[in-house]
Amino acid sequence: MSKIQKFFSRNICPIIFKLFPLKKKRIVFSSFGGRNYSGNPRIISEEIQKSKLSYELVWLLKNEVSDILPDGIKRISTDSLLASYYLYTSKFWIDDSRKTISHKKRNSQVYFQTWHGTPLKKIEFDAKDKLSKHYLKYAENDSESITYLLSGNKYSSEIYPSAFRIEANKILNIGTPRNDQLVKEFKSLQKTIYDKETINILFAPTFRNDPNDNGVFQLEKVDLTLIKEYFQSKNQKINFLVKFHPNVNNQLSKEKTSLEYMAEHSIELVPDGILLENLFSSIDLLITDYSSIFFDYALLGKPLILFNYDEKKYAEERGFYIELNDLPVPKAQNAEDLIKIISFQREELLNSSRELLDYLGNYENGNSTQIIIESIVKEDN
């Protein structure tokens, strides 16, 4: 897509299309800047289709995205002239990350910002010194356009007014659509990691600014050999999966040595775009560092460990809203710590998710998707 076309789509066309009639039965969706058909917007979109509601559903996706959309959904290229047309003539916007818009929405439009996770790291305007002026300008227009911002817990609701620069009364304390399924699946564990013959472990590290601190470097910190030896001593086997940040996955796809390392150690790489809420149901133990997915995973009541081996360095790089020591979950700074937690902190590990949800002030109740759809129907009447 040419820079000229992108410029016109973002800066000129909205002025024109704001004069067009507004389509009350049209909804425009986007997820992660058009990089995926995923997240909260996908859950809402699919539920609208299942309910057979008479809305025109439009998804903005980048040209290179290969995701196949369900029948009945219109696909439009992001930053195209058509994208601008649909964006500014549709009654509803639903997104899970910032829109790169130079013009705010029309007053009569309704924008549901679902966001994509509970923030541990400082985000948006709370991290403005680490973000470009270019991005912050878009963020300002996006925030001023938001009608409703979804929150899954009291902790997030206290952060969002500052992070997004919005009024607290715009925050909907109803949970998040992608977590509805997790809440409904929750049940007391019949078998724990101490009872199973084979254990599925997911390692989900987040992104570091220094490329050398990502990928294989992170895997070496975990020391999979040591973990395997421990479980073998207990006559147990493990399946080890890793979910890297999308930026890291893009890097790994070009590095033969990294892929060879994972093959050598029987590590299964989780691809981008997979629905984590579906993946979580098969995971018995989550090991992560500063990725917000552990807040979502906790809804299943399963054990988790924070692997904060570079906490001081990362805190300087990104900053946290809270001290990690305040979180009521086990923490490890090296592979030996991981084994000690699994061996000697059994009760703390098994109760980690429940304790975390209590600490956050959980709002997830499994009904957020339905509440949003009811709001849409009410708004278009």
Q: What is the pLDDT of residues 248-283, one digit of tens each?
A: 876 776 677 788 888 888 999 888 777 777 889 899
* Alpha carbon 330 to its chain's center: 22
What's the one-letter identity of residue 161?
P
63-88 as b/e, with b when 16 or more CB fall inside 10 Å?
eebeeeeeeebeebbbbbbebbbbbb
Q: What is the mean pLDDT of residues 74-86?
A: 95
pLDDT in tens, 352-361: 999 999 999 9
* CATH number belonging to the domain at 184-360, selected among 3.40.50.12580, 3.20.20.100, 3.90.400.10, 3.40.50.1370: 3.40.50.12580
Task: Tell me which H or E stretch contains 137.
Answer: helix 133-145
Class in CATH terms, 3-176+365-379: alpha beta
Do 3-176+365-379 and 184-360 fold alike per CATH?
Answer: yes
* Alpha carbon 374 to its chain's center: 24
Q: Is the pLDDT of residue 187 over 90?
A: no
Q: How far apart are CA 135 and CA 4, in angstroms?
A: 19
Share the mean pLDDT of the chain: 92
Residues, the chain, total? 381
Task: Tell me which H or E stretch contains 307.
Answer: strand 304-307
Q: Name the 3-class secondary structure at 273.
A: coil
Query: Could you tell me the residue ranges of all domains in the chain?
Result: 3-176+365-379, 184-360
Longest dimension (CA), the chain: 70
pLDDT at 359: 96
Q: Whole-model pTM above 0.85?
A: yes
Q: Name the 3-class secondary structure at 287.
A: strand
Q: Name the 3-class secondary structure at 320.
A: strand
Place of tokens 């400082």: 122
Q: Rounded to 5 degrees, what are φ and ψ at 157? A: -60, -30
CA atoms in the 13 A half-sphere facing the CB of 40: 29
- The Cα angle at residue 52 between residues 117 and 42, in degrees rounded to 5: 20
